Amino acid sequence: METQPGAKPYVLTIAGAVCWGLIGLFIAPLYARGFTAWDVVAIRGILSFVFLFAIMMLFFRDQLRTRIKDHLIFASAGIFSLALFNYFYFEVFSRSSLSLAVTLLYTGPIFVMVLSRIFFKEPLTTRKVLALASAIVGCALVVRLLPLGSESIPSKTLFMGILSGFCYALYSVFTKPITKRYSALTITTYTFFYMALFMSMTSDVWRKVDTFQHVDVWIAALLLALVSTVAAYVLYTSGLKYLEAGKASILATIEPIVAVVVGVLFLGDQLLPLQLVGIALVLYSAILIVGRKVKNGKTCKRN
């Protein structure tokens, strides 16, 4: 019978989510220097592609070979997922807070499960539904969307946040069919190529090159590209290669937990009891997805 992959894909997926959770530390300084959300998306896309392409040319040049017809998938993932979900995500962050932006982004697993069921015929098991519900409720508690009335969300901000979740879900849906054909680096590099190309043509970031004379701008931009982009996407895509899209997406819900912890450690935020409950629920959802522990190199059967 078909068995689950080992623990490594789960670790890779969670590690990618941790890198994403640090993103607020790198975006805030760019906003402070006058960059818009669309500008920040451009900076992220362009610098990330430069680093990815350099890595590929130096160490994995043979992996740059692709099928021409697959570039429609790369372009779709780069533009309709990466560029748009980043914009909506950053825009919500600029209008409210990182915690709220992350929570609304994580309506994504709902869309991933629905779309994966439609396109990939992935089974919607009781364990998945329970894990998803636990993750969503946990995220809502962490950012104080629950109890109801704790936060007041403008309808436009809420709509943009849900759009960020939908576009985020499209990344898993678009790239899943080609994960068996290409490495994580290949997929990430080409999707960011099309994102960078699209953002270069549509943003005003080139008119703000003088702002890059400030050291803090370079530091924030480089960390945004290297940590919360290159490392995050390579790790996540590596996990996705061996996991169902729905499972990988739910595991990545540890991102808002990291965002809250960053706030506590570096921004002086304090955790309330209900937020601790939310953290426990999100971690529980990850345990449900992973299933029983892997012992002596053997894996449990797939649900």
Q: What mean pLDDT do residues 36-50 have?
A: 96
The amino acid that residue 65 corresponds to is R
- What is the model's pLDDT at position 295? 36
Distance of CA 182 to the CA centre of its chain: 20
- For residue 60, the model assigns a pLDDT of 93
Which has the higher per-residue pLDDT, 221 or 148? 221
153 or 281: which leads in pLDDT: 281
Q: Decide if pLDDT at 169 tops 70.
A: yes
Average pLDDT over residues 152-172: 84
Residue 292: per-residue pLDDT? 44
Q: Which two tokens stand for residue 222?
A: 């480089």
| pLDDT average, residue stretch 182-206 | 93
Q: Residues 279-302: pLDDT tens digits?
A: 788 878 776 765 543 333 333 333
Average pLDDT over every residue of 72-80: 96
Tally: H helices and E strands in the chain: 15, 0
- pLDDT tier at 43, thresholds 50, 70, 90: very high
Please tell me the least confidently modeled range out of 60-69, 89-98, 122-131, 247-256. Answer: 247-256
Confidence of residue 303 (pLDDT cuts 50, 70, 90): very low
pLDDT for res 76 = 96
Out of 89-103, 109-123, 201-215, give the one with best mean pLDDT: 201-215
Mean pLDDT of 87-114: 80
Tokens of 25: 């530390």
Q: What angle do CA 292, 7, 18 make, to 5 degrees?
A: 110
Paired tokens of 263: 């706030």
14 has a pLDDT exceeding 80: yes
Band (pLDDT 50/70/90 cuts) for residue 4 is low
- Of 162, 38, 42, the closest CA to residue 100 belongs to 162
| pLDDT score at 199 | 96
Mean pLDDT of the chain: 83
Confidence of residue 149 (pLDDT cuts 50, 70, 90): low
Question: What pLDDT band is residue 33 in, cutting at 50, 70 and 90?
Answer: very high
Provide CB contacts within 8 A for 11, sequence distance 6+: 239
* Window from 73-77, 176-180, 236-240, 298-302 with minimum mean pLDDT: 298-302
Bigger pLDDT: 255 or 71?
A: 71
Please tell me the predicted confidence (pLDDT) of residue 58.
95
